[in-house]
């Protein structure tokens, strides 16, 4: 019974809620990196999208966007796409219309994605001392107090009673 209580306490302290299963689709940053490699190697936007789609065959949204961009053009594909690829397609379409260097735009999107991830990690790290307060107080401080005061208490007991059991 005590073991179950301790197990429940440990699970509660460690965030015992079930973990989400990772998504099947690759992260957006991987798509952006593949696009950046294609654009920096001299490919057009469409051929960079096609090579990224071939490299990530399980990414359904990327396959759909690539097919739409091949058939109807990048602007039409941007209008019909929903989800995390929409801002990427909007930036690519805008850069293609204005003639801006697309590799710089994609590199900036990767940097922004990394900045968001760093900020989330920093926010998580800032919460760590608060989460560790209870385990440190309940598990480490009693042992430290026992380690520091036990020898002197044993010596005092021995002096007062004269007999050590």
How sure is the predictor about 46, in pLDDT bands with cuts at 50, 70 and 90? Answer: confident
Sign of the CA dihedral with 111 first, then 112, 114, and 119 last: positive
For residues 108 and 15, give the distance between their C-alpha atoms in angstroms, rounded to a whole number. 35
Residue 24 pLDDT > 70, yes or no?
no
State the average pLDDT over residues 2-21: 59
CA 137 remoteness from chain centre:
29
Q: What is the pTM of this model?
A: 0.64
For residues 14 and 41, give the distance between their C-alpha atoms in angstroms, rounded to a whole number. 46
Residue 78, pLDDT score: 77
Q: Find the Cα–Cα–Cα–Cα dihedral 74, 79, 80, 83, rounded to 10°.
A: 100
Higher pLDDT, 41 or 14: 41
Residue 164, pLDDT score: 63
> Tens digit of pLDDT for each residue in 85-128?
888 888 888 888 888 888 888 999 999 999 999 999 999 999 99
Residue 137, pLDDT score: 86
Comparing 1-5, 24-28, 50-54, 159-163, the range with the smallest average pLDDT is: 1-5
Token look-up 């689709």 returns 25
State the average pLDDT over residues 41-58: 89
Residue 158, pLDDT score: 86
| CB < 8 Å & 24+ apart, contacts of 54-61 | 56/26, 56/30, 56/31, 58/24, 58/25, 58/26, 59/25, 59/26, 59/31, 60/25, 61/25, 61/85
């Amino acid at each position: 019974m005590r073991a179950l209580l301790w197990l429940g306490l440990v699970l509660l302290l460690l965030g015992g809620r079930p973990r989400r299963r990772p998504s099947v689709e690759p992260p957006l940053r991987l798509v952006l990196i593949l696009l950046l490699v294609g654009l920096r190697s001299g490919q057009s936007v469409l051929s960079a999208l096609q090579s990224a789609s071939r490299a990530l065959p399980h990414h359904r949204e990327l396959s759909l966007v690539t097919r739409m961009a091949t058939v109807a053009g990048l602007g039409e594909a941007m209008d019909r796409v929903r989800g995390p690829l929409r801002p990427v397609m909007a930036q690519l379409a805008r850069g293609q219309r204005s003639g801006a260097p697309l590799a710089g735009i994609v590199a900036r999107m990767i940097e922004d994605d990394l900045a968001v991830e760093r900020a989330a990690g920093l926010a998580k790290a800032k919460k760590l001392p608060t989460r560790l307060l209870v385990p440190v107080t309940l598990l480490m401080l009693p042992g430290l107090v026992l380690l520091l005061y036990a020898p002197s208490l044993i010596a005092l007991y021995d002096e007062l009673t004269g007999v050590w059991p």
